[in-house]
Amino acid sequence: MNMRYLIPGLVLAVFAGAGATLVMLGVVTLPGFNDGEPFPDMQVEMAKHPDEATPAELQRAAYDAFEEGKYLTALSLAQDASAKGDPQAFTLIGRIYAEGTGVSRDPAKAAQAYEKAAELGDVPAMVSLASMLAAGKDVPKNREKAAELFERAALTGDPLANYNLGLLFLRGDGKPENPSRAAAHIRYAAEKGIPSAQYDLAALYQNGSGVPNDALEAATWMSKAAASGLTEAEYDYAVMLLRGQGLKRDEPKAVEYLKIAAEKGVAGAQNRLAHVYLDGVSGVPASPAEALKWRLIAKASGIAKDDKLELLIASLPPDQIAAAQKAADDWREKKAVQ
């Protein structure tokens, strides 16, 4: 199993296993101020007379404008609100400059806005700034400051902040290495439904890092991460099901997850699916043609050597090999346009 340390915008792979995939976390969530119709007239009035509006009114109008794609109006209103000390207005300014929505990307301005919002107590800004500092993307890397911000946000109960703080404790990077403390923060995030935290908590139980070695707990959390659609979890949970690792062996269910991961491009899942079709399992009859198709796909995805499957290729007649090659090519062409 691959342990993925997912500081937003950064992947730090530690345990070898399935291939890690970048997952972007720590995205600023827009407050749900306006669940009904937009307020274009209010935006215009606020822009014309910002001195007559409260910071909360300006901020609400700014977020409404942002949700409607009126980014320059949103920026102007957010700047007016920030001048009156509204923390969420600074966070919106940070997001606009970080993403370059309506303006040129300016990470320095984004970081400045996030820092001001964080000073004023805005949790999403703390997470966003910590993410930038931890990854060292567009700003100088500073894991110690990132850890401080993640910890402040974690104290408010923010799941992503707890998750990332746990990862720093686990690596001893920005925080002293403390596997037990790391596991506690990661478990909190996993219980709050963060799929990557569920995946990593499964890895902790499988490796006995910060928690007891417990195959049942590992399988339980891996199943949750797989059910959420996390690709690596789908593959690793399929392997657990095939082996009966921490749970009852379930070959049909394992094949379902293998197919999902294989369709998403996981080379290991593609190759293992080829073996399933080669040998046949409960509910899935052997099919040399399907086995060869998935072996060819896996080979193109990077798994160059598999002696057992290569023997299959050598034993098949040329017409079956050609048919399987066409099926593999058709699969790749279909994926290329999706």
When pLDDT is cut at 50, 70 and 90, the band that residue 52 belongs to is low
Query: Of 37-51, 53-67, 284-298, where does mean pLDDT reach its minimum?
Result: 37-51
Tell me, what's the pLDDT at 283? 86
Q: Is residue 270 part of a domain?
A: yes
Q: What mean pLDDT is predicted for residues 1-9?
A: 43
User: Any alpha helices (H) in 104-207, and if so which ranges?
Assistant: 107-119, 123-135, 143-154, 159-171, 179-191, 195-207
pLDDT at 314: 86
8 Å CB contact between 132 and 106: no
pLDDT at 122: 97
Whether residue 285 is predicted with pLDDT greater than 50 in this model: the reply is yes
What count of other Cβ atoms lies within 10 Å of the Cβ of residue 47?
17
At residue 49, the pLDDT reads 55
Mean of per-residue pLDDT scores for the chain: 87
18-22, 168-172, 289-293: least confidently modelled range: 18-22
Q: Which residues of 190-218 are buried (b: 16+ CB within 10 A; e: fewer)?
A: beeebbbbbbbbbbbbbbebbbeebeebb
273 is a domain residue: yes
Q: Under 8 Å CB-to-CB from 265, ≥6 apart: which residues?
A: 301, 335
pLDDT (0 to 100) of residue 11: 35
Domain range spanning residue 334? 250-338
- d(Cα 135, Cα 120) in Å, to the nearest integer? 23
**Residue 52, C-beta contacts closer than 8 angstroms, at least 6 positions apart:** none
Please give the DSSP secondary-structure letter assigned to residue 29: P
pLDDT number for residue 33: 37
Q: Residue 219: which of 196, 200, 232, 237 has the closest Cα?
A: 237
Contact by Cβ (8 Å): 13, 4: yes
What is the rounded CA–CA span in Å between residue 100 and residue 110? 10
Q: Within a 10 A sphere around the Cβ of 107, how many other Cβ atoms?
A: 15
Element (H, E) at 332: helix 318-336
97 within some domain: no
Answer whether residue 14 shows pLDDT above 80. Answer: no
Domain contains 323: yes
* Domain presence at residue 193: no
The answer to whether residue 310 sits within a structural domain is: yes
- 137 vs 268, which has greater pLDDT? 268
Transcribe 194-242 into DSSP letters: -HHHHHHHHHHHHHTSSS---HHHHHHHHHHHHHTT-HHHHHHHHHHHH
- How much is the pLDDT for 6? 41
> What value does the mean pLDDT take over residues 7-30?
34
322-331 contact pairs (CB < 8 A, 24+): 323/289, 324/289, 324/292, 324/293, 324/296, 325/296, 327/289, 327/293, 328/293, 328/294, 328/296, 328/297, 328/300, 331/293, 331/297
Please count the structural domains in the chain: 1
- The answer to the question of residue 237 being in a domain is no
Q: Is residue 81 part of a domain?
A: no
The 3-state DSSP class for residue 139 equals: coil
What type of residue sits at position 113?
A
Long-range pairs, 110-116, Cβ under 8 A, ≥24: 110/138, 111/138, 111/139, 113/82, 114/90, 116/82, 116/87, 116/90
Residues above pLDDT 90, as percent of the chain:
78
Flag whether pLDDT at 331 surpasses 90.
yes
